[in-house]
Structure formats: structure tokens, C-alpha cells
């Protein structure tokens, strides 16, 4: 259900941007494609490809936002442009009139530092984009985190000590600048999520929407991205304490992302800069590490 909600938001955000920016765009509907390739994974239901057409907020129909009959191919390509492998992405209807495209048999695993190209044929229209998987990073061990989801009793971090005692050291492959994207996600149910910084007597969210805003997932999910310049192949990731809003169990994902996704995130009207030829949206890639901890007083 969470993934379906995210899919819907993609279309809604694009539609809103198109309507408010100019009269030309208001009448010029476009195809969109969104997708983020994750190194070590396939194109699955957690990270599918979404294809659709923008609709006008005034007079448009939700049923027209998603396209389920495109012909979609994902290619693995070397640095000379030679196709090394490919897979046909299959359309699935995950909710009424809501479609996504996945690698149904998990055939093509995304490899580090490899190039990928996507092509989508929609009747007589054609979209394509390409991305190169970012260089891998390593996160040096910290006693406040574990990468083992099956560990009995996750490490605990006292909230007030995080910035001083748990600054993370990230090891890179070179000293070139890169974008680091982080996601802090609370794993407690909303009824059990206790605010760290309390206003008055408001210790817990009143409802699920206060806990996880449908528009961006906050404050349950806090995301950020920064450009870093390594020194001696190391980056210090610190002063992130305020990203933890609740006490309890947390999942922290730290990722490097490619230029397409970075441009989509930070440029004005980023959906025009996400690498899509023949449409809007983004086709990016990421190399991620996920860790777990528990925040205590």
C-alpha cells in the first residue's frame, strides 16, 4: 500500500507543477517516466518503472494518468555503447488503473558502475533515458548501528549524544565530489511513536496522518541530500541528530545517486532535468547501504 501511495504522488506532483508554471504547459500534456535503479537489486515492485501522461488538475481524469500498454525494455550497456544484456519490463496493474513495470523474473540484476538505458514505446511516441550506477561507498562500523535485521536487540543511541559520538565515516573510491542522499525512517507504529522534542503535552501523534504525511512521509520519514567532497577517500557524515523525530527503532539508508536523480531533486522544475528524452520525470540510479538502530532518552 505504501508503494501505491508513492506512485500516486508522483503523478499528482507532476500535474500540479505543469498547471501552475505557465499557460503553455497548462495545455501541453506530456508523457512522464520515473524510475530509480538500485545497485544489487532488480526492477521490482519496491522500485518499479512508472509511465504515464500528465493530466490537467482542472478537468483531467485520474484514469488517464497511468499507462499500462507501453513496450518497455531495459538494456545493460558498456562504456562504448555495446548492449551486453536486456530485459523486457512487464506491466502490472497494482490498483485500479494504476500500472507499474517490473522485471517479472528478476533476470537483470543492477551492477555497480554499469550503464543502463531504458526505452519505452507508447503507440507512435518514444521515450528513452540512460544512467550510470554510481561508484560504491562503504560505511565504517559504528557501535550505534547494525546492518543485521535479524540481530537480537539492536544497538541503542542516546539522542543527545548522537552528533558527538556517532558521526559516520564514509569511505569512497576516489576524491571526486558526489551526492549523498539519506533517509531516516521510524519503524514504530504511529500509536507507539513518542516525540523526542515535545510541544506542551503532545507526546505522541494524534493519528496516522500526523505521523506520516501522505505528501512526503514526514515526520516519520526525513530525507536530505548534500554534495560532498571527499578527502583521502573519506567523508564525515555528522550533525544529523535532528533527523530523528521519535524515540524507538529506526532504519537509516545512505545512498550515492547519479546526476539524473540529483538534478531531479534540487533543480527548479526538476522533472525537466531528470534525464528523460521525449517526456519528463527521472531515470536515475543509486548505490545504497541500510542500517538499523534504536533511539533512547
Residue 22 has pLDDT above 90, yes or no: no
How far is Cα 130 from Cα 75, in angstroms, rounded to an integer? 9
Please give the angle made by the CA atoms of 128, 279 and 56, to the nearest 5 degrees: 150
How far is Cα 266 from Cα 168, in angstroms, rounded to an integer? 24
Residue 5 has pLDDT above 70, yes or no: no
Residue 263 has pLDDT above 90, yes or no: yes
pTM: 0.82
Of all helices (H) and strands (E), which one includes residue 72?
A: strand 71-77
Residue 18 has pLDDT above 80, yes or no: no
The pLDDT value given to residue 169 = 96
Pairing of strands 280-296, 248-257: antiparallel
User: Could you give phi then psi for residue 169, rounded to 5 degrees?
Assistant: -100, 125
Decide: 32 and 15 in contact? Cβ < 8 Å. no
Q: Which of 14-23, 79-88, 199-208 is most confident?
A: 79-88
The pLDDT value given to residue 59 = 60
DSSP for residue 269:
T
Of all helices (H) and strands (E), which one includes residue 21?
A: helix 2-21
In the chain, what are the domains?
Answer: 2-133 (2.60.40), 138-258+287-296 (2.60.40)
Amino acid at each position: 500500500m505504501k508503494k501505491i501511495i508513492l506512485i500516486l504522488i508522483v503523478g499528482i506532483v507532476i500535474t500540479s507543477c505543469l498547471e501552475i508554471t505557465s499557460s503553455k504547459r497548462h495545455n501541453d500534456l506530456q508523457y512522464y517516466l520515473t524510475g530509480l535503479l538500485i545497485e544489487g537489486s532488480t526492477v521490482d515492485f519496491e522500485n518499479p518503472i512508472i509511465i504515464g501522461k500528465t493530466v490537467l488538475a482542472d478537468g483531467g481524469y485520474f484514469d488517464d494518468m497511468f499507462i499500462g500498454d507501453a513496450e518497455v525494455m531495459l538494456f545493460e550497456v558498456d562504456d562504448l555503447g555495446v548492449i551486453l544484456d536486456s530485459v523486457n519490463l512487464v506491466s502490472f496493474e497494482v490498483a485500479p488503473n494504476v500500472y507499474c513495470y517490473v522485471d517479472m523474473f528478476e533476470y537483470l540484476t543492477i551492477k555497480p558502475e554499469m550503464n543502463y538505458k531504458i526505452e519505452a514505446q507508447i503507440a507512435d511516441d518514444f521515450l528513452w533515458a540512460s544512467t550510470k550506477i554510481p561508484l560504491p561507498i562503504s560505511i565504517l562500523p559504528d557501535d550505534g548501528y547494525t546492518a543485521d535485521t535479524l540481530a537480537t536487540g539492536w544497538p541503542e543511541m542516546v539522542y543527545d549524544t548522537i552528533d558527538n559520538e556517532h558521526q559516520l565515516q564514509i569511505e569512497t573510491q576516489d576524491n571526486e565530489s558526489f551526492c549523498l542522499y539519506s533517509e531516516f525512517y521510524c519503524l514504530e507504529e504511529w500509536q507507539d511513536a513518542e516525540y523526542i522534542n515535545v510541544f506542551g503535552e503532545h507526546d505522541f501523534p494524534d493519528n496516522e496522518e500526523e505521523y506520516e504525511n501522505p505528501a512526503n512521509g514526514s515526520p516519520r520519514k526525513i530525507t536530505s541530500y548534500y554534495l560532498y567532497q571527499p578527502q583521502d577517500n573519506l567523508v564525515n557524515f555528522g550533525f544529523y541528530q535532528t533527523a530523528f523525530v521519535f524515540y524507538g527503532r529506526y532504519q537509516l539508508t545512505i545512498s550515492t545517486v547519479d546526476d539524473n536523480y540529483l538534478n531531479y531533486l534540487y533543480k527548479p522544475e526538476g522533472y525537466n532535468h531528470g534525464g528523460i528524452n521525449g517526456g519528463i520525470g527521472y531515470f536515475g540510479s543509486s548505490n545504497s547501504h541500510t542500517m538499523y538502530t534504536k533511539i533512547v532518552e
